[in-house]
Structure 1
Amino acid sequence: MEQRGTRVASFGQTEINWDKLDKTKFYVVGAGLFTGITVALYPVSVVKTRLQVASKDIADRTAFSAVRTILKADGIPGLYRGFATVITGAVPSRIIFLTALETTKVAAYRIVEPLNFSEPSKAAIANGVAGMLGSLCAQTVFVPVDVVSQKLMVQGYSGYTAYNGGLDVVRKVVKSNGIRGLYRGFGLSVMTYSPSSAVWWASYGSSQRLFLSLLGYGNEYQEAPSLRDIVCIQAAGGIVAGATASCITTPLDTIKTRLQVTGPDKRKNATEIVRKLLADEGWKGLYRGLGPRFFSMSAWGTSMILGYEYLKRLCVKE
């Protein structure tokens, strides 16, 4: 059959695999790019954390009221409590995550490619496995950063301890509980972020393939998608992935956050936290902060994936 000069469009044409990247450029440029995205979206994490730890008698029941309270008490800096700690730990944890993600994704796709599954299903499996493994590897660095930053986010709020910066948090936590205090909620973090990462990347990978198919791409002899179409499809996939992951994992995130911010004098386990939430507010208590988390994961997911895919295009080897 004559192809008449058209290019065969495959789903692989929309992706840039790990072996095609300049790793040094990828890490250096990526650190700056994702730092910028974190600056833009960090206040949403602060608001979500405040809502998740608020007791039932606190007036701040919505994201807008929480923002007003923070701005009234601390101004704009209040929306960035714990930011320095997050940025310090975010770079190494993100390097670990992205390296594990990309290398595993390629290997996993090679395993499922011969199977008699649809293209979206293959992508969901490969991306889901890669996302979960990447998150598991990154948790070793991320959990201590998460513990410290969340204590700073809620310090002085609703009776929580006040600290003099991130190093003061580390010193007091280690003094009270040893190094293991910095890994408070590690099990729940793994249970929250690993499935969340798996769901996010599986949803992204499958929805991206689905959108390509709906637009007619991926068929033999079909013209390859334009860069504009690819970017639009990636953005839509990021929104779908963020919405799916936030709805599924918010209850675990709420429990994890409450467990990590409690002081040594108010130590509780996950079961006690669940019982109290259910007793105070019923099942909806487990979905505290769903709105900000939904927005955060959708906005972060879309911004991150567009930035990430742009970064990969920028760092392709000559």
Structure 2
Amino acid sequence: MGDEVEALPPGLEDRISWDDLDKRKYYVIGPSVFIFVRAAVYPSNLVKTRLQVQSRTRPLYNGTFDAFRKIVRQEGFLGLYKGFGASLLNIFIGNLYISVYEFTHKLAMENVTDTPSTANFISGATASVVNQTVIVPLDIVSQRMMIDGQGGPDMQSKTRHRTQGLMSIAKDIYRTQGVRGFYKGYVPSILTYAPSSALWWGSYGVVWPHYYRLLNFDIDPMWRQMIAQAFGGGTAGVVTAIITNPMDVIRTRTQIHTQFGAVDTFKYLIKREGIPGLWTGAVARVMAMGPSGVLVITAYELVKRLSRKTHDAVHV
């Protein structure tokens, strides 16, 4: 296969492609596994969202760890999972993302490039654009649920506020803004997630073979590859989280503070909070995307192995 595998060590040429998968197994096993992945990183995403939308002049939380502590104290442990039900729906829609990713990756390798990391970059961006078109409405509802029921500045006592459910918030958005309300911040979402997805998959494709070479102790090649991929996914998550945080702040504020568009949100943020405002929630985002990168790629490779067509099984 030569150049197609970028001179990877022997045995790593065996990428499980889209055509190798039993789609019936894949669409059942995939969502089942990723429920646990999303549950593991959801609290960090919730904290990141709250930090991004709070005012720096009258903040409710003094940083990431203070936010975790105050949310649990005032709203209980389940307060870290507000909006999780709406978020779970994203997992099933996520099948669309990975299907587009794999199909585009195949086309890119056949018609555009013979370099896997470049194909990763192209297919990651394409999949994200398609996915965001479907998923933005759920993101908006989930984000509103995340911030619903926050306490006052003293944060001393448990809130008695009864948080709204998915349908209640959805009806409120439709009543006040119409269908357009569900696509508030669509452009910032594309400008956040398309580069984020492209950067994540592209950097992952570049980084993990280097980890494979560093792990030169005597272990089974399959385990060596899986460990390298996990480290690669985590590294790609951290890099992506840091680079794309400014657009994520603008996206989140645009979707929650409905009186501003993306450009007005950016101007307001710079005027009131300066450049540091663009890095609000960066630590929480790294805490979400770093471990998420490890879990997602490990789960993804596991799902592909479990979903592989039996007659195409390989001997490791």
- If the length of structure 1 is used for normalisation, what is the TM-score? 0.86
Determine helix, strand or coil for the equivalent of 1:12.
coil
Whether contact under 8 Å (1:85, 1:166) holds in the other structure is yes
**Which is further off, 202-211 or 303-312?**
202-211
SS in 1 for 2:16: coil
* Aligned residue number for residue 51 of structure 2: 51
Contact 1:127-1:201 within 8 A present in 2 as well: yes
**Residue ranges of structure 1 left out of the alignment (5+ in a row):** 1-7, 115-121, 217-222
Q: What amino acid sits opposite 2:17 in the alignment?
A: N
Counterpart position of 1:35: 35
Q: Report the counterpart of residue 279 of structure 1 in structure 2.
A: 271
SS at match of 1:101: helix
Residues 213-238 of structure 1, C-alpha deviations (whole Å, 9 max, x = no match): 5668xxxxxx9971111011101110
Question: Is 1:140 the counterpart of 2:133 in the alignment?
Answer: yes
Deviations 1:115-158 (A, max 9, x none): xxxxxxx2221001111111111112210010000011111337
Cα deviation 1:183-242 (Å, max 9, x = unaligned): 1101110110111000000011111234445668xxxxxx99711110111011102211
1:292-311 alignment to 2 at 5 Å? Answer: 292-311=284-303
Q: Is the 8 A contact 1:86 1:146 kept in 2?
A: yes
Task: Kindly report which structure 2 residues correspond to 1:6-155, keeping only aligned pairs within 5 A, or say none.
Answer: 9=10, 11-13=12-14, 15-56=15-56, 57-91=58-92, 93-113=93-113, 122-155=115-148
1:229 equivalent in alignment to 2:230: no
Supply the AA of the counterpart residue of 2:204: Y
Cα RMSD, aligned residues only: 2.2
The structural deviation recorded for 1:175 is 1.0
Secondary structure, aligned partner of 2:10: coil
What's 2:6 paired with? none
1:157 to 143, 150, 155: 150
Pairs aligned (count): 292
Where do 5+ consecutive residues of structure 2 fail to align?
1-8, 153-160, 311-316
TM-score by length of 2: 0.87
Write the distance in 2 (CA, Å) between the matches of 1:27 and 1:61.
Answer: 41
Give, in whole Å, the separation in 1 of the partners of 2:162 and 2:135.
22
- 1:162 deviates by 7.8
Distance of 1:20 and 1:31 partners within structure 2: 19
Q: 1: distance between equivalents of 2:212 and 2:111?
A: 22
Deviation, 1:271, is 2.4
Matches within 5 A, 1:110-259: 110-113=110-113, 122-157=115-150, 164-212=164-212, 226-259=221-254
In structure 2, the CA distance between the partners of 1:108 and 1:214, relative to structure 1 (3 Å rule), is farther
Which is worse superposed, 103-112 or 80-89?
Answer: 103-112
Show CA shifts across 1:230-274 (max 9, x none).
Answer: 0111011102211121111100000110111124xxx01222322
User: How far apart are the structure 1 equivalents of 2:213 and 2:77?
Assistant: 45
Aligned residue in 2 for 1:315: 307
Name the amino acid aligned to 1:79.
Answer: L
SS in 2 for 1:90: helix
- Is the CA contact (8 Å cut-off) linking 1:46 and 1:153 kept in structure 2? yes
Task: Work out the percentage of aligned pairs sharing the same amino acid.
Answer: 35
